[in-house]
Amino acid sequence: MPPMGLLARWADRQERKRDIRKAIESSLYHASLFVLLRSALGMLETSPEAATRFDRELRVYIASVLEDVRLSETRLYGFRGPADQWVDAQTAIVSQGLKVDGSRSRQIGVAAFIEQLCRRLLQISAELDLATLSTRDARAALMSAYGSAQSSLEWYEGDLWDEASTAGLLNDKDHARMRDRAVRQVAKVVRGI
């Protein structure tokens, strides 16, 4: 007969491993995506014509990125409704009755960084609407916001990796596979554009 609690400890370990793995994969994916978005905006600096065309559609671009990032945030929290019903985590928990699953604690950490980016995108959009920000400054602010989100996610992913490797939950091969998968997923997104 197995010792008492052995199966519960095994199940807890598997749940922790699943949460860390998903959080690492999500961090790697989003960080790679933000590198791509920053690079694309940086390339506009080399072509005034492209920058002018882009600037005409800047609000649409911000709204599109915001919608995609917000959808990602909702899924990390476990919200399965339409993304347009999502305001932020606090509102979803209080007014929409979202129950945050404790087994998602690390994924929620990723979502918190993404929520910060959403707030910054909304702020940039509002400043554009109020004409307190030029389109060129808005592009610079977007690049800065993507860079900040990327750095935060890379830092968080490093902490998660340290936790996972120290606890023996994941090994170097797992980490390399997750990095490769994130790059492939971002490449798939680019091909779909």
Summarised one tens digit per residue, pLDDT across range 60-113 is 999 999 988 888 888 887 777 766 666 666 666 666 566 666 677 888 889 889
| Cα–Cα distances in angstroms (integers) from residue 99 to residues 23, 45, 96, 106, in the given order | 19, 45, 9, 16
Q: Which residues fall within 8 angstroms of residue 185, CB to CB, at 6 or more apart?
A: 29, 32
| Cα distances (Å, whole numbers) of residue 124 to 83, 89, 111, 138, 175 | 20, 20, 20, 6, 35
Decide which of 85 and 44 is more confident: 44
| pLDDT, tens digit (0-9, with 9 covering 90-100), for 133-182 | 899 999 999 999 999 999 999 999 999 999 999 989 899 999 999 999 99
Greater pLDDT, 184 or 99: 184
* Residue-wise pLDDT tens digits, 12-25: 888 889 999 999 99
Q: What is the mean pLDDT of residues 39-46?
A: 89
Find out whether 107 and 20 touch, Cβ atoms under 8 Å: no
pLDDT of res. 34: 94
Q: What is the pLDDT of residue 12?
A: 84
Provide the CA 191 distance to its chain's centre, in angstroms.
20
> What is the reported pLDDT for 174?
93
Give residue 77's pLDDT: 78
Q: Which of 34, 17, 33 is nearest to 174 (CA)?
A: 17
- Higher model confidence: residue 115 or residue 2? 115
- For the chain, the structural domain boundaries read 19-192
User: Using CA atoms in the order 50, 132, 88, 149, what is the torsion angle rounded to 10 degrees?
Assistant: 50
46-50, 143-147, 169-173, 188-192: range with lowest mean pLDDT: 188-192
Q: How far apart are CA 60 and CA 125, in angstroms?
A: 10
Lowest pLDDT segment from 37-46, 76-85, 123-132, 172-181: 76-85
Are the CB atoms for 56 and 44 separated by under 8 Å?
A: no
Place of tokens 């800065």: 144
pLDDT score recorded for residue 61: 93
